[in-house]
Amino acid sequence: MPQPFVAQPRAASARAQEQVPVRPRIARSWHPALAPLAEYLEDPDVTDVFINGRSGLFVDRGAGAVPVPHWRASAEDVRDLAVELIGAGGRHIDDAAPAVDVRLDGGLRVHAVLPPIATEGTAISIRVPRFEHPSLDALQARGMFDTETRVRLDDFVARRENLLVTGAAGAGKTTLLAALLASAPQSQRIVTIEDVAELRIAHPHHVTLEARQANLEGAGGLDLARLVREALRMRPDRLVVGECRGAELRELLSALNTGHDGGAGTLHANSLADVPARLEALGVLADLDPHALARQVCSAIGVVVHVERSADGVRRLAGIGRPVLDGDGRLSIEESA
């Protein structure tokens, strides 16, 4: 029997020669179960770590996931790891709830799926934060946008535009949104609402609300739509929904249409042109027909900022647009130069 979670380590001399910095906060916050993955979680270039059942460990350093040679684990080992990590995040995973998402201390986001839903064995995905507290300066230095675009972003924040940040998974939506919010005046109160809290904002008045799953008896759950309503009672200067993915879209649009300037949200979309279709799909879940949705979005959202992850692994701001009504009264995004 192979030893569980065995990976060929790099030689100590090679690591010293590379002088690779580590993520101190993550290193301090490891759960003991993450020890076999420590080398990869410390690497500042790593954005994601994947365990695909017993078939392999994969690490993404920004240019796509690559397998880690010499890695070994049994199906039982991987399942046990999933149970332990989900438990460390305060949730429970078993055959009755086989797919769960949690946030661990240090900002790690862990998603796990048990078999038979994951047909090749337990699948674990770990999202590693690239920045402790992202700033617009840091993102500009990394090539996400140029000086001219930076001026526009600063202006959006100063004018309290309601922003929708869009992009594919891993494109940098949350990172950019956090940086934008960090540049808001320190006197403003920011309330963020997320399914799993990921927004790490360098701002002195940031209140985080995180959704909660129901317990085994089906009680105690708080979804994003309910949390948006609760947040409105907290007198936010900026109301933010980390990711719109369902009926909470209705509450967010309603809130931003009633004087809550400077709000924001993120949305999965492959391009600016795809944003209307994505919003219309969510509108169905929120009981909004395409025409009602279009009017709500045009009134509530001032600017759509789209980010992409290019083949070289660099996250870039790919486009900026504004919601408009097309000739049929449906939603369209007018891209600005």
Which domains does the chain possess? 12-127 (3.30.450.370), 136-336 (3.40.50.300)
For 36, the token pair is: 């076999």
How many C-alpha atoms does 135 have within 13 Å on its Cβ side?
Answer: 5
Output the pLDDT for position 319.
95
- Indicate whether 4 pLDDT > 60: no
Q: How confident is the model at residue 9 (pLDDT cuts 50, 70, 90)?
A: very low
Interval 242-287: pLDDT, tens: 888 888 788 888 888 877 899 999 999 999 999 999 999 999 988 9
- Indicate whether 329 pLDDT > 90: yes
Average pLDDT, the chain: 84
Which of 149-158, 167-176, 220-229 has the largest mean confidence? 149-158
Cis peptide before 116 (omega within 30 of 0): yes
**What mean pLDDT is predicted for residues 208-220?**
73
Residue 323: beta bridge partners? 333
Q: How confident is the model at residue 50 (pLDDT cuts 50, 70, 90)?
A: very high
Output the pLDDT for position 31.
73
Q: Which of 39-48, 80-89, 265-274 has the lowest mean pLDDT?
A: 39-48
Q: How confident is the model at residue 313 (pLDDT cuts 50, 70, 90)?
A: confident
Task: Name the pTM for this structure.
Answer: 0.75
**What mean pLDDT is predicted for residues 31-51?**
84
For 195, the token pair is: 């399914």
- Indicate whether 18 pLDDT > 60: no
Q: Where are the alpha helices (DSSP H) in the chain?
A: 12-18, 24-29, 38-42, 75-88, 136-141, 147-158, 173-182, 224-231, 248-256, 275-285, 290-300
Residue 208: beta bridge partners? 192
Planar angle of CA 252, 98, 80, nearest 5 degrees: 125
Residues sharing a CB contact under 8 Å with residue 246, sequence separation 6 or more, in sequence order = 223, 224, 225, 282, 285, 286
Q: How confident is the model at residue 61 (pLDDT cuts 50, 70, 90)?
A: confident
Q: How confident is the model at residue 30 (pLDDT cuts 50, 70, 90)?
A: low
Pick the residue with more confidence: 139 or 310? 139
- Indicate whether 310 pLDDT > 70: yes
- Find out whether 25 and 40 touch, Cβ atoms under 8 Å: no
Output the pLDDT for position 8.
44
Helix (H/G/I), strand (E/B), else coil: 215: coil
- Indicate whether 142 pLDDT > 50: yes
Output the pLDDT for position 74.
85
Output the pLDDT for position 19.
41
